[in-house]
Amino acid sequence: CVSVAGNTVFLSGEQALSYQVSSGGAVRINGLNGNVYNSAAVRAAMLQLALQDRSHRLEKEYNLVTARAFSTEGAVSNALSQFPATDAPFNSFPAQNGLADQLRLVARLIAARDTLGTKRQVFFVSMGGFDLHDVLINNQATLMGRLSSALTAFHAATVSLGVADKVTAFTASDFGRTLQSNGDGSDHGWGSHHLIVGGAVRGRAFYGKAPPVSVTNSTTDAFDQWHVGQGRLLPSTSVDQYAGTLATWFGVQGNEMNGILPNLGNFNSGDYPRDMGFMVNPQA
């Protein structure tokens, strides 16, 4: 679980350990690298303090985390040095695009998978700016253009690396937008559309069922359960279905799925399938 987004909150698990990098590569612990204060003796002392075993539980855990970060940085930096950002296909990502910078680093890590000895990986990248209560008309198209060009370059890189059918990029967000304008933008909504890109995706299609759209408040009519005002889309597809479909392709099987997505059992009908069908056969 690797985050290039500046935080690892979405990759924290009970057993899985997350690792945070920057779009430029692994993050170094400056005090433990190079000649601190131009003194080899100071560096040696810093290494001893940071990496030695401790009897106090909190000190011991802190040093274990530090040691893991120190050793991992060396391994990642060495692996990435074999796949410079200036070489093809990594030099084809758009400039002045933060998401593209993050995805370029992900592509380099994928290219270095044999050197790193990694197999199945989850990478987290992000872009902000979509909370457009104001100036939506001017900014939305620019943001979507950056998203499109970054994902296009990333997919092209996976094709060049020969792993397009083994890499799937998908979007996620914690809230949608209203379809009714507030005068200069839109307010927080509920449901939204998402994108799935990759060689294993059954693409060029919409999945799920679009709910009715209304900018009015609901009435007593039974059909108006969908009309929740301001053009908010009441989701007709669950996050569990979305995640379950991706997890199935990722290789999650049997009872493992119940532990990962305990609510997925509520979705097992024609209108709410466990597998939405947008991915091809699961990974071996």
142 and 119 both lie in a single domain: yes
Does residue 124 lie in a domain region? yes
pLDDT, tens digit, for every residue of 247-263?
A: 999 999 888 998 889 99
14 and 124 both lie in a single domain: yes
78 and 109 both lie in a single domain: no
Helix (H, G, I), strand (E, B) or coil at 42: helix
Work out the pLDDT band at 72, boundaries 50, 70, 90: very high
Does residue 278 lie in a domain region? no
Contacts of 229 (CB under 8 A, 6+ apart): 214, 215, 216, 217, 218
| Domain containing residue 68 | 25-84
Q: Which of 84, 108, 126 is the last residue of a domain?
A: 84
Is 47 or 31 the better-scoring residue by pLDDT? 47
Q: Is the pLDDT of residue 19 over 70?
A: yes
Residue 30 is predicted with a pLDDT of 82
pLDDT, tens digit, for every residue of 199-245?
A: 999 999 999 988 777 777 656 666 667 777 788 888 889 999 999 99
User: Average of pLDDT values for 54-65?
Assistant: 93
Q: Which of 176, 205, 234 is the last residue of a domain?
A: 205
Residue 234 is predicted with a pLDDT of 84
Q: Is the pLDDT of residue 272 over 60?
A: yes
80 and 152 both lie in a single domain: no
Q: Is the pLDDT of residue 40 over 80?
A: yes
**Whole-prediction pTM value?**
0.91
Does residue 283 lie in a domain region? no
103 and 167 both lie in a single domain: yes
The amino acid occupying position 257 is M
Q: Give the position of tokens 């059909």.
A: 223
Residue 233 is predicted with a pLDDT of 86
pLDDT, tens digit, for every residue of 168-199?
A: 999 999 888 998 899 999 999 988 899 999 99
183 and 157 both lie in a single domain: yes
H or E segment and range at residue 21: strand 19-22
Does residue 276 lie in a domain region? no
62 and 135 both lie in a single domain: no
247, 239, 241: which is closest to 267 by C-alpha? 241
94 and 164 both lie in a single domain: yes
Task: Give CB contacts under 8 A, 24+ apart, made by 243-246.
Answer: 244/274, 244/275, 245/274, 245/275, 245/276, 245/277, 245/278, 245/279, 246/168, 246/170, 246/196, 246/279
pLDDT, tens digit, for every residue of 116-170?
A: 999 999 999 999 999 999 999 999 999 999 999 999 999 999 999 999 999 999 9
Contacts of 143 (CB under 8 A, 6+ apart): 127, 129, 130
Q: Which of 163, 182, 205 is the last residue of a domain?
A: 205
Per the structure, the count of domains in the chain is 2
41 and 175 both lie in a single domain: no
Residue 218 is predicted with a pLDDT of 59
Q: 189 - beta bridge partners?
A: 176
88, 86, 83, 80: which is closest to 21 by C-alpha? 80
